[in-house]
Structure 1
Amino acid sequence: VMASARVSCGLEYPNVYELSDSLQDSTRAGYDFISVPLAHPRFIREHVEGDAKKRIGAFTRSDLLLSSSEWSSLIVGRISATAILNLESSVSSLRMNSEETINQELTFAAHLGLPAVMFSLSTDRCTNIARIIHNRVVQGVCYQVWVRVPMQAPEEIAAQHRSDKKQSVDGFAIDTWTWWNKWLGEPVRSAILPTSIWLTNKKGFPVLSRAHQLLIKGLFRLHAQFVISGPLRHQHFKLYQQYLEHIIRAQLEVDPLTDFARGYEDYLQCPLQPLMDNLESQTYEVFEKDPVKYSEYEQAMYMAICDKISEEEKDTKEIILMVVGAGRGPLVRRALAAAKGAQRKIKVYAVEKNPNAVVTLQAQQDEDWGDQVTVVSCDMREWDAPEQADILVSELLGSFGDNELSPECLDGAQKFLKEDGISIPSSYTSFLSPLQSPKLYNEIRNCREKDKHFLAHFETPYVVYLHNKKELAPSQSLFTFTHPNRE
C-alpha cells in the first residue's frame, strides 16, 4: 500500500432534517459519503392492516433533493431497523408488514441508484431477511448490500461481566483482540467506528488506542472504508476523519513486494510446470521484476565466490559457476556482477532447455557477455558437462518448494558439482498453515466444470498472493530438501 493512499471515510446520521445541508457539512469536514435512513425512523407504515394503511403521501423524501451523481456516489441508505427486527416476528401481520416495508425501501434505493444499502442484524434469526436480499441479488441490483454485524458476539460480551460463567479453555476467550483480528480474513467492506471508542489526548483532540490503530491499519490494507457514528464528543466531526488520515500516513510504509504484486491479491493461479512446458517471455519478465530475490541471489553468489577463491588466489584461479534453468539470464547477470564485485575471475555455463529463452541468452552472449558465458541449450538432466562446477545456481523453487520438481532436477544435475562444491540454494523447507478466507473459498466454489467432481477444484493447488485472509495457527514445517544430496 502506498504511503500516499487516502482513507475513505463516511459519517453516519441517525436522521437528517435537510439532506443537502448535511451532505455539504460532511463534505466540508472531509468525509466522502454519508449514511442516512431511507425513511424516517418514526414514520409508521402499515401495508397489511391498521389506520396508517390509508395514509396518503410519500413515505420518504424526494429524489429531487440531490442530483443523480450525488445519490449514486455520496449516499448509503439504511433500512428500517424496526422492520428488520419484526421480520422474524411470530405475529404474521407484523412479519408481512415488515417484508413490505423492506421491499419498499430496497426498491426506492434501486430507483435512486445508491451505491450501497445497510442494515443491522440484531438477532441470529435472519432467515427472512436473507431470503429477501437473495431474491434481490438474483434479480440483479445496482447497489451493494452492507450487513452490519457486531465484532463480538453479544453473549460473549455479557459473559465477561458475569462471575458464574467460566472462561474458555486455555483462556482463549480472554484475548478479544485475537477474535477481532479474524475479521481481517472476512469480506469487510466498511468498519463502523463509534465516537464512544475514541480517547482524548492532552490537547483535547480525539485519538484511538494502539490496538484500535493496528486493527484499522489492517482493515485499510483490505481497502475497507470507515464510518464515524454516534454523538459528537469532541470539537468537530472533522477531527475524527483527520486523525484516521494521520494514522494511515504515519503507519503505512512503501512495501516493494506489495507494490509489485498490486492487482494480483487473492487471485487464483494454476502453478507453472516449467519442466513440462516452455515458459513465455511475459512470464519470465514478471519473475525478473522480483524486487528482493535476485539481490539476495547476488549476495549469496558473492559470498560463495569469496569463499572459494581467497584474496591471494584471485589473480590465478578461476571460478566455475553453472546456472541450471537460466531462463532469460537474470541469474547469469547477477553472477557476473557478483564476480566483478568480488574482483574474481569467473566462467559461467548457462543451461536452459527452453529454445525460445536460449535465443535471448545467445543474444546477450554476443552483445555483452562474450567468452565469460557459455550458453547450453539442453535439459540439465541430460547434459554432459565438460567440467565440474565450483558453484551450482538454480531458481527452480515453486511456491510450495518442490511442486515444480526442483529436487528431482537438482538431484540429476548435482553430478556437475565438485565434491566440495556449493549449491545455491543449499536447502529449502515447505511450511503449512491453516487459514480462513471466505473470498478464496467462494472463488474456488464457483470454479465448476461439467466433467469434474464439484470438489475437484478444492483439491487443486493454486498460487495465490494472499491478502484478505487470517492465519488461524502458526506455520509448521512440512519437509526439507538439501543440495547436494549425497544420500
Structure 2
Amino acid sequence: MTERNKLSIGVDLSPQDFDLVNVSKKSDKILQSFSFISVPLSYEFDINNQEEQFQPTFSDSYLDSSVISTRWFGKLSLFDCSRSLEYLYDELQWVNHIRLPCIIIPEDKSYSIEYIKCINTICSFTQSTIWISLLLDENTWERWNTLRKTLGYNLNIRPLLILQNKEIEFNLLSIWRAENVSGVIINKSLINEYGKIPRDLEIFIQSLMDFDISIILKGYCCHIKEIQRDAKYFEWLKESRMKTSRYEEITIPYRDQIEIPIQPLSENLESIVYECFEKEPFKYEKYKEAIIMAIQDKSDVFSKSTPLNPFKIVIAGAGRGPLVEITFKICKNFRIEHKTIIYAIEKNPNAITTLKFRKNKEQWNNVKIIFDDMRNVHMEKQIDIVISELLGSFGDNELSPECLDCLLPQILKDDGISIPYRYTNYIQPISSALLFTKMIVEQHSFELPCICNHYNYHPLSSPQQCFRFEHPTTQINHSRYTTLSFPMNYDAVVHGFSGTFNVDLYKTVKLSIVPNEHSPEMYSWFPLFFPLISPIEVKRGDVLELKLWRCETKFNVWYEWLVTSPVLSRLHNAGGKYSMSLQCSH
C-alpha cells in the first residue's frame, strides 16, 4: 500500500501578525511545521488617496528567495474596483519580482465589470496560480460559475472556499467535486471546544481531500501550538478516510488524463499496449472462470472427441496470447489437450511473431496459429467455442460487433458458445470543469470521444442503458439509435457524457465498469467521454434529453450525439468527422 500524499496545510497571516524585522523569524518557525503561509502583499488601499503608492508588508531582503518562491502565497489586499490600476500593476510587479507561486484574490460578490477587468489584468500580468476566495453558502457555486463564464475556463484560476458555520444542503456541497477546488480556509472560530468542525463540513472536506486540496488555518495570531493542535485534527480527517484500494493505487497516474481511443482493427497495436492489457489479473480470472464453465458444459461433445475429430476452440484476436495460454492450461488440467485444437487468429504480424515463439517455447502442441483478419476466416461451422476480448471502453467502440458477426456465422456450430455472448453500454451526464478546461488547453477535439479515468468530476444522474449486442446473432445491421432522459438532481453545468459498459462472458460470469457495479480491482478500461462543445447549464428538476447514434457504412463506424433539452446543442461529430475504420491494417 502506497502512502497517501501528506495533507498540505497553510497558515494565514494578517499584517498585525508580523512586522518587517520579525517576519523572517516568524515565517521560518511556522514553515517548520506547515506547508506554506499566506500573507498580505500590501496594506489596505486608501480609496480617498488615488495617488497612494504601493507599499509591501515585508521586504524580500529579509527572506530566502527559494522559500518565498515556493512556500509564500500572496493575498491581494481587499479593494473596490475604483482603486488605482497603477497601484494594482505595482502590486503585480512585486509578485513577479519575488516570484510568488500563488496569489489569493478576494471575491467581489457584485462581479462588476471593473472586478472582471481586474482579474483579467492579474491573469495577463503574472504566471502565478490564482486562487479566488469564496465564502461558502447556498449560492456560492452560482457566483463562481458566473465568474468562470465571464473569464473563460482557465486551469490557472481555481476556487478557494471559505467555510462558515452554516448548515448547507449536502447536494449543494457535492457539486464542488466537479470543480478544480484549490483548498478551504478554516477560521479558528469554526472549531468547537472539542477541536472539531460541524459533521456536515467534516464530510464535505473529506470528499474534497480526494483531490489533495490545501487547508488554510486562519485567525490564530501566530500561536504555533494552537495551530499545530488543530492541524493534527485535519490530518486525522484525511487519514481516517476509506483506505485506498488497489484499483485506486494503480490508476492514480491516469486520473483525468485524456487519451485517444485505440483502433486495433485498423492499426497494429504496439507491444507496450498488449503488455498493459495483459497485466490485468481480475479480467483474466473471470475469462478463466467462463472458459472452464463452457468446457464443462460441453462434456458430452468431449466424450465423443478424438485426436482425429478434436474439440475445437478459437481465440479471435489472440494478440500476444494471454487467452491462448489460459485455454491451453485449462485443457491440460482437464487432460483433454490431446483431443483439442486451439486456433489462434491474429492479424498483427508482430503479435504473430510472439505467438509463434510462445508456441515453440511453451510447447503449445495443440495450438494452430492463423495469420489473417478474422472476418475472412472460414471453417465450415466446425468450432465449439469462440473466445475473444475485442471490447473497448464503451463496449462496441473497438468494433467487436462488426468483427464477431462476420466470423461467428462462418465457423461456430449451431450449438456453439461465444465468450462473451452479450455486452451492453451505458451513459450518464457529468460535470467536470477540470476535464473541460484540459481539453481546451490540450486542444482536443470536442467531436472526438476520448478515454478518461474520471476523478475530479461529479455525476449528475444515474447511468442509463444505450445499446446491446449479442453473439451469435442473425442481426447484420449494427447501427443504433436511442433517446435518453436524465432527471437533473443539481444546479450544475453539463460538460459531457461518460460512457461505460458491462459484458456477460458466459452464464453468470460478468465484467463491468458501470458505476455502482464496477468489477473490483479491474483497470483494463476507463470510460469513454462524449464531450459537449458548449457546456449546458441545468437546474435541479430539469430533464436533460440526449440523442445518441451509432452510425456505420462499409468503411467506417462512428457516434453522433445531440442534446435536445433543456436547450438544443450542436449535433456533435455529424457525418463521422471522427470514426473507427473498418479497413484492416493487415
The question of a shared fold, defined as TM-score above 0.5 by the shorter chain, is answered with yes
1:296 corresponds in structure 2 to 286
Name the SS of the counterpart of 2:362 in structure 1: helix
How far has the Cα of 1:353 moved from its partner?
A: 0.9
Aligned partners of 1:212 and 1:343: how far apart in 2?
A: 61
How far has the Cα of 1:229 moved from its partner?
A: 2.5
Name the SS of the counterpart of 2:405 in structure 1: helix
How far has the Cα of 1:240 moved from its partner?
A: 2.6
Name the SS of the counterpart of 1:459 in structure 2: coil
How far has the Cα of 1:186 moved from its partner?
A: 1.0
Aligned partners of 1:467 and 1:155: how far apart in 2?
A: 22
Which structure 2 residues correspond to residues 217-366 of structure 1 after superposition, within 5 A? 217-231=206-220, 236-309=226-299, 320-339=312-331, 345=337, 346-366=340-360
- 1:191 is aligned to 2:199: no
Q: Could you tell me which amino acid in structure 2 is paired with residue 9 of structure 1?
A: I
User: Structure 1's 120 and 303: CA in aligned 2 closer, same or farther, altered over 3 A?
Assistant: farther
Map Cα deviations across residues 263-310 of structure 1 (whole Å, 9 max, x no partner): 332222222211111112222222223353223222222332333338
How far has the Cα of 1:377 moved from its partner?
A: 0.7
Name the SS of the counterpart of 2:14 in structure 1: coil
Aligned partners of 2:406 and 2:294: how far apart in 1?
A: 22
Aligned partners of 2:198 and 2:298: how far apart in 1?
A: 54
Which structure 2 residues correspond to residues 44-443 of structure 1 after superposition, within 5 A? 44=46, 48-49=50-51, 53=52, 58-81=55-78, 83=79, 86-87=80-81, 95-97=82-84, 99-139=85-125, 141-153=126-138, 176-199=169-192, 204=194, 206-208=195-197, 211-231=200-220, 236-309=226-299, 320-339=312-331, 345=337, 346-385=340-379, 388-415=382-409, 416-443=411-438
Alpha-carbon contact 2:404-2:471 (below 8 Å) kept: yes
User: Structure 1's 301 and 175: CA in aligned 2 closer, same or farther, altered over 3 A?
Assistant: farther
Aligned partners of 1:124 and 1:294: how far apart in 2?
A: 57
Q: Could you tell me which amino acid in structure 1 is paired with residue 417 of structure 2?
A: I
Aligned partners of 1:349 and 1:376: how far apart in 2?
A: 7
How far has the Cα of 1:223 moved from its partner?
A: 3.1
1:92 corresponds in structure 2 to none
Map Cα deviations across residues 318-361 of structure 1 (whole Å, 9 max, x no partner): 75322101111122223234445666545422111111111111
User: Structure 1's 136 and 341: CA in aligned 2 closer, same or farther, altered over 3 A?
Assistant: farther
Aligned partners of 1:385 and 1:198: how far apart in 2?
A: 74
Q: Could you tell me which amino acid in structure 1 is paired with residue 326 of structure 2?
A: R
Aligned partners of 2:434 and 2:9: how far apart in 1?
A: 23
How far has the Cα of 1:144 moved from its partner?
A: 0.8
1:19 corresponds in structure 2 to 23
TM-score (norm 2): 0.68
How far has the Cα of 1:401 moved from its partner?
A: 1.6
Aligned partners of 1:106 and 1:378: how far apart in 2?
A: 65
Which structure: greater strand fraction? 2
User: Structure 1's 341 and 152: CA in aligned 2 closer, same or farther, altered over 3 A?
Assistant: farther
Greater CA drift, 422-431 or 14-23:
14-23
User: Structure 1's 73 and 447: CA in aligned 2 closer, same or farther, altered over 3 A?
Assistant: closer
Q: Could you tell me which amino acid in structure 2 is paired with residue 178 of structure 1?
A: N
How far has the Cα of 1:393 moved from its partner?
A: 1.3
Alpha-carbon contact 2:5-2:212 (below 8 Å) kept: no
2:457 corresponds in structure 1 to 469
How far has the Cα of 1:129 moved from its partner?
A: 3.4
- 1:457 is aligned to 2:451: no
Q: Could you tell me which amino acid in structure 2 is paired with residue 284 of structure 1?
A: Y
User: Structure 1's 138 and 191: CA in aligned 2 closer, same or farther, altered over 3 A?
Assistant: same
Name the SS of the counterpart of 2:452 in structure 1: coil
Aligned partners of 2:378 and 2:92: how far apart in 1?
A: 73
Aligned partners of 2:350 and 2:461: how far apart in 1?
A: 44
How far has the Cα of 1:439 moved from its partner?
A: 2.2
Greater CA drift, 206-215 or 373-382:
206-215
Q: Could you tell me which amino acid in structure 1 is paired with residue 391 of structure 2?
A: L
How far has the Cα of 1:372 moved from its partner?
A: 2.8
User: Structure 1's 24 and 468: CA in aligned 2 closer, same or farther, altered over 3 A?
Assistant: same
How far has the Cα of 1:385 moved from its partner?
A: 2.6
Name the SS of the counterpart of 2:451 in structure 1: coil
Q: Could you tell me which amino acid in structure 2 is paired with residue 299 of structure 1?
A: E
Aligned partners of 1:360 and 1:175: how far apart in 2?
A: 60
Alpha-carbon contact 2:387-2:418 (below 8 Å) kept: yes
Greater CA drift, 292-301 or 105-114:
292-301
How far has the Cα of 1:65 moved from its partner?
A: 2.2
Q: Could you tell me which amino acid in structure 1 is paired with residue 451 of structure 2?
A: V
Greater CA drift, 389-398 or 248-257:
248-257
Aligned partners of 1:344 and 1:5: how far apart in 2?
A: 52
How far has the Cα of 1:45 moved from its partner?
A: 7.4
Aligned partners of 1:65 and 1:379: how far apart in 2?
A: 72
Q: Could you tell me which amino acid in structure 2 is paired with residue 433 of structure 1?
A: Q
Name the SS of the counterpart of 1:221 in structure 2: helix
User: Structure 1's 10 and 330: CA in aligned 2 closer, same or farther, altered over 3 A?
Assistant: same
Alpha-carbon contact 1:72-1:113 (below 8 Å) kept: yes
Instruction: Count residues with an aligned counterpart.
Output: 441
User: Structure 1's 303 and 250: CA in aligned 2 closer, same or farther, altered over 3 A?
Assistant: farther
Aligned partners of 1:418 and 1:175: how far apart in 2?
A: 62
User: Structure 1's 184 and 156: CA in aligned 2 closer, same or farther, altered over 3 A?
Assistant: closer
Name the SS of the counterpart of 2:38 in structure 1: strand
1:5 corresponds in structure 2 to 5
Structure 1 vs Structure 2: percent identity of aligned residues?
A: 30
Name the SS of the counterpart of 2:108 in structure 1: coil
Map Cα deviations across residues 142-191 of structure 1 (whole Å, 9 max, x no partner): 4111111233345899xxxxxxxxxxxxxxxx972112111111111222
Aligned partners of 2:55 and 2:297: how far apart in 1?
A: 84
2:38 corresponds in structure 1 to 35
Aligned partners of 1:274 and 1:220: how far apart in 2?
A: 38
Q: Could you tell me which amino acid in structure 1 is paired with residue 102 of structure 2?
A: A
Alpha-carbon contact 1:37-1:77 (below 8 Å) kept: yes
How far has the Cα of 1:216 moved from its partner?
A: 3.0
How far has the Cα of 1:409 moved from its partner?
A: 0.9
How far has the Cα of 1:397 moved from its partner?
A: 1.0
Alpha-carbon contact 2:103-2:130 (below 8 Å) kept: yes
Map Cα deviations across residues 430-481 of structure 1 (whole Å, 9 max, x no partner): 1111111222223333566xxxxxxx92222111121221111111111111
Name the SS of the counterpart of 2:262 in structure 1: coil
Q: What's the C-alpha RMSD, in Å, of the aligned pairs?
A: 3.3
Aligned partners of 2:428 and 2:400: how far apart in 1?
A: 22
Alpha-carbon contact 1:325-1:394 (below 8 Å) kept: yes
User: Structure 1's 344 and 220: CA in aligned 2 closer, same or farther, altered over 3 A?
Assistant: farther
Name the SS of the counterpart of 2:130 in structure 1: strand
Map Cα deviations across residues 114-136 of structure 1 (whole Å, 9 max, x no partner): 11010121313243333233234
Aligned partners of 2:312 and 2:189: how far apart in 1?
A: 68
